[in-house]
Amino acid sequence: MPIELPLLEADATACCTPVTGGVLALDEAERIAHTFKALGDPTRVRLLSLIAASEGGEACICDLTEPVGLSQPTVSHHMKILVDAGLATREQRGRWAYFRVITDGLERASQAIRP
């Protein structure tokens, strides 16, 4: 009769995504949900695409308002959500904030649900 060894967490994640690899811990489920909540708004998805498509992969908040048709405070609010979710970075340069997409954040989101 073969001896059954306990499955180590590293073994479970090697073949499976966090969502399909077993029951998630509450903190991990909350982190994943937080990321997808940030991506659940079409304006925020557009903002990420605008930033990624910008020259040098970064964009000033001043260049993001017109394409999405929203005021600067509203775009700043959306960007704060993306930054808090780990999907973008913010750098203050004088009066203006500049943003970059965190590709690792998008990759983690993708890996969380990839079968």
What would the pLDDT profile of 15-70 be if each residue is shown by its tens digit? Answer: 556 666 678 889 988 999 999 999 999 999 999 999 999 999 999 999 999 999 99
Q: Is residue 33 part of a domain?
A: yes
- Report the amino acid identity of residue 46: R
Q: Is residue 81 part of a domain?
A: yes
Task: Indicate whether this model's pTM tops 0.85.
Answer: no
The span from the CA of 85 to the CA of 83, in Å, is 5
- Report the amino acid identity of residue 104: D
Q: Which domain holds residue 18?
A: 9-113
Q: List Cβ neighbours of 20 (8 Å cut-off, separation of 6 or more).
A: 115
Q: Give the CATH number, domain containing residue 81.
A: 1.10.10.10
Question: Which tokens hold the place of 30?
Answer: 């909350």
What integer pLDDT is reported at residue 43 of this predicted model? 97
Q: Is residue 3 part of a domain?
A: no
Question: Number of structural domains, the chain?
Answer: 1
Q: Is residue 4 part of a domain?
A: no
Helices (H), 1-115: 9-15, 26-39, 42-53, 65-68, 72-84, 103-113
Q: Is residue 73 part of a domain?
A: yes
Dihedral (CA of 74, 61, 55, 112) sign: negative
Q: Is residue 24 part of a domain?
A: yes
